[in-house]
Amino acid sequence: MTAADLTDLAGRVAVVTGACGRLGPAWVDALLGSGATVIGLDRAAEPDSALREVLDAHGDKQFDFHVADVTDRTTLERVLAACPGPPQVLVNSAGIDSPPSALGGGARFGDLPKELSGTVLDVNALGTLQCCQVFGTAMAAGGGGSIVNIGSLYAGLAPDPRLYEHIQVDPPFLKPPAYGMSKAAVAALTRYLAALWGPAGVRVNTLSPGGVRGDQDAEFVAKFTARVPLGRMALAADLRGPLLFLASAQSGYVTGTELMVDGGFGCW
């Protein structure tokens, strides 16, 4: 088998949750580029411009978009029923990272409403669990496959408050504690399912990106980058290779792990 054969996903059905946004289109791009038929779902009403660009580049014959909410099992079951066959790849990317400022005025740690934390945990942790219950169970019954749960640097490391102290708001900006909690739960779910479904041929791994360059302010970027041995924030394109590694036969003997794609942020 050649190296190219190892990443060939032709004939495979891949489900991507959170197919819009910053990273969803990168996962779709990588999977379509390897020949998979991709079923993208998002709570957004339609593909956003980044996803449209990917579909324009590949053609949308092997892509189907569904509006679905990872917290609503009925919508996920509807997507499964519309799949052209049992999925062999599942990328759990739908997620939220709601800072207290999303409430309008911000909040101090002691005043964070339980509902805000609950929403983050509901989407990121329980939503991922529910997608595994619906799509992963079909994979296990259908002969196996690969689940890639998108984690985060902050599953294993605390966000450094100094990265945010230049932001002039009162109360001071807080990265929501529930975000890292939810991603740690995702990593735990990965290990749980790797043990449960190994005998059924379903591999389950976490891919944990570091900070991805977006609309962050220049001071944040400078402070963040100073902590990255590779000297820059990630680009969505940096994540395609790691995703294909975990999704394909290249990682046929890899399960239950967390692959850090963080430019070395966590190594010192």
Ligand X SMILES: NC(=O)c1ccc[n+]([C@@H]2O[C@H](COP(=O)([O-])OP(=O)(O)OC[C@H]3O[C@@H](n4cnc5c(N)ncnc54)[C@H](O)[C@@H]3O)[C@@H](O)[C@H]2O)c1
42 binds ligand X, rule: CB under 6 A: yes
H or E segment at 93?
none
146 binds ligand X, rule: CB under 6 A: no
How would you classify the pairing of strands 13-17 and 89-92? parallel
Q: Which stretch binds ligand X (CB under 6 A): 2-10, 37-45, 81-89, 166-174?
A: 37-45
Provide the minimum distance between the beta carbon of 146 and ligand X in the complex, in angstroms, as a whole number: 17
212 binds ligand X, rule: CB under 6 A: yes
Among residues 86, 127, 136, 145, which is the contact residue for ligand X, using CB under 6 A?
127
29 binds ligand X, rule: CB under 6 A: no
Specify whether the CB–CB gap between 26 and 237 falls below 8 A.
Answer: yes
Return d(Cα 151, Cα 148) in angstroms, integer.
9
CB closer to ligand X out of 249 and 266:
266
Provide the minimum distance between the beta carbon of 4 and ligand X in the complex, in angstroms, as a whole number: 27
Among residues 6, 8, 22, 175, which is the contact residue for ligand X, using CB under 6 A?
22
End-to-end CA distance of the chain: 38
123 binds ligand X, rule: CB under 6 A: yes
96 binds ligand X, rule: CB under 6 A: yes
Provide the minimum distance between the beta carbon of 153 and ligand X in the complex, in angstroms, as a whole number: 6
Q: Which residues contact 120 (CB under 8 A, 6 or more apart)?
A: 96, 97, 98, 176, 178, 179, 181, 182
71 binds ligand X, rule: CB under 6 A: yes
CB closer to ligand X out of 141 and 188:
188
The total number of residues shown for the chain amounts to 268
14-49 core/surface letters (b: 16 or more CB in 10 A; e: else): bbbbbbbbbbbbbbbbbbbebebbbbbbbbeeebbe
Return d(Cα 138, Cα 228) in angstroms, integer.
39
Q: Residues in the site for ligand X, rule: CB under 6 A?
A: 17-18, 20-24, 42-44, 69-71, 93-97, 123, 127, 150, 152, 209, 211-212
